[in-house]
Structure formats: C-alpha cells, structure tokens
Amino acid sequence: MLHGGARLGQLAHFERSACQRLPSVAVGRLAFDERQEQGSRQLEIVPILTRPRQIQRQTRVFERQVAQILKSRHPPGAEYNVQTLTAILDAARKISLALTIVLIVIAFIALLISGIGIMNIMLVTVKERTREIGIRKAIGAARREIMYQFLIEAFLISGGGAVVGILIGLAVPVAAQFFLPSNLRVPISGMSVIIAFVVSCSTGLFFGYLPADQAARLQPIESLRYE
C-alpha cells in the first residue's frame, strides 16, 4: 500500500507489513484484485498507467539507497547484489553496440578484399585489351569514353555480386522461417537491402577507377604495337 498521496514519479512508501515500510516510487496507478485460493491470499496487480521516463533518472539514486540499506542491515561478510532493469538495459545496449562495431569491421574488411579483387580483374582486363583500346582511340574515341567503358564494367561486376549476395541474404531468413514458430517473424529491412546494393556498387566504382584511368591514359600508337 502506498502512503503519503504520492503522485506519479514521486517517492512514496510501500507498506509490506505493519512494521515494515520500504521506500518506493509511484510509477503508475494499479488495479487490485484480492481473492482467496487454497487457504492463501493472492494479489493480482494490473498496471493501468506508467511513466518509465520519469523514473529512469531516479533509478540510480534509489539503487544506491537500497544498497546502503542492505549494507547497514547485513554483516560485513554478507553477499548481495542490487540490480535494476536499467542496468540490464544498459548491458544489452553495450552488447548491441559491440556487435554492431564488430559487424561493421567485418563488412569493411570484406568490402576491401572484394574491391582489391575487382581492381586486379580490371587491371588484367586492361592489359589484355590494350590493342582494342588503341584501335578505339585511333578511330576517335575520347579519353572519357574509354574511362566510362571500364567504369561501367566495374559497376556491373560489383552490382552482379551485390545482387547475388542480397538474394542469398534474403533466402536465409525465408528458409529459417520454416523452422520457427508461426508467431515469430524474421524481419527484413528494405532500406538495408538498398544500402547494401549502393555500398557494393560504390566499392566497385572506387576500386575500378584506377584501371579505368590507366586504360584512358594509353597512347594509341603504343597500344597498337602491344602484343
């Protein structure tokens, strides 16, 4: 029972017994239903209105107060632990942040490796098609046209890989859905699919710029002499 006519978010006292009153916080209005069952009284509490944001600022203060009360009422060697839902939520946020950072680092390494692979493929392509580049320049192809040609090829390579990766990524949750209960759904974010495609294509264009620029700088006469 709360005493003192406390409003929501204010400190009150919860009467646990006739001689024990615990400091508490009024977090909402409650509906009570007392009934007798098998010789023991049960109390059902149904929350009607809560305001957790008003309580979050005071949680740490009350946690320290409870710890001081336990320390004063127990011998020095007693073991006890004061834990609130706020501490659990903070731990969950830290774990989520750590996992996010790890996944970002893994994704960065994967993009770096794939970008280097695309650049090497394009460099080999430029080397094998040197005579073709010389012929195109000899008949009037501009430098930017040669560059656009190889940038488009790098875009197609990275875009094709992105499409294959997205399809595999979408197939995994769809396949896992058959092994999950019907009330559980694996969410798929459309924005994450778009971001993955854009980042993959941007990586291909970034690492494909060097081979494209190298192809655009070739001289027609030297290219035609290449064997």
Say yes or no: 116 and 218 in one domain.
yes
Say yes or no: 168 and 72 in one domain.
no
Name residue 116's amino acid: I
29 pLDDT band (50/70/90 cuts)?
A: very low
Say yes or no: 140 and 94 in one domain.
yes
**pLDDT value for 42:** 41
pLDDT, averaged across the chain? 76
Average confidence (pLDDT) over 209-224: 86
Say yes or no: 43 and 17 in one domain.
yes
Sign of the alpha-carbon dihedral angle for 24, 28, 34, 38: negative
- Residues near 74 by beta carbon (within 8 Å), at least 6 away in sequence: 80
**pLDDT value for 150:** 92
Say yes or no: 214 and 115 in one domain.
yes
Q: What residue numbers bound the domain in which 188 lies? A: 90-225
Say yes or no: 45 and 77 in one domain.
yes
Closest-CA residue to 25 (of 15, 16, 13, 17): 13
pLDDT digits (tens, 9 = 90+) for 148-177: 999 999 999 999 999 999 999 889 888 888
pTM of the model: 0.60
How many domains, in total, are found in the chain? 2
Say yes or no: 15 and 94 in one domain.
no
In this structure, what token pair is assigned to residue 114? 């794939």
Say yes or no: 104 and 139 in one domain.
yes
Say yes or no: 8 and 108 in one domain.
no
Say yes or no: 65 and 114 in one domain.
no
The DSSP code sequence of 147-178 is HHHHHHHHHHHHHHHHHHHHHHHHHHHHHHHT
CA distances (Å), origin 83, targets 69, 73, 80, 88, 180: 14, 18, 10, 8, 33
Are the C-beta atoms of residues 61 and 82 closer than 8 Å to each other? no
Closest-CA residue to 205 (of 118, 146, 133, 123): 118
pLDDT digits (tens, 9 = 90+) for 38-89: 444 443 333 434 445 555 666 777 777 777 777 777 777 777 676 667 777 8
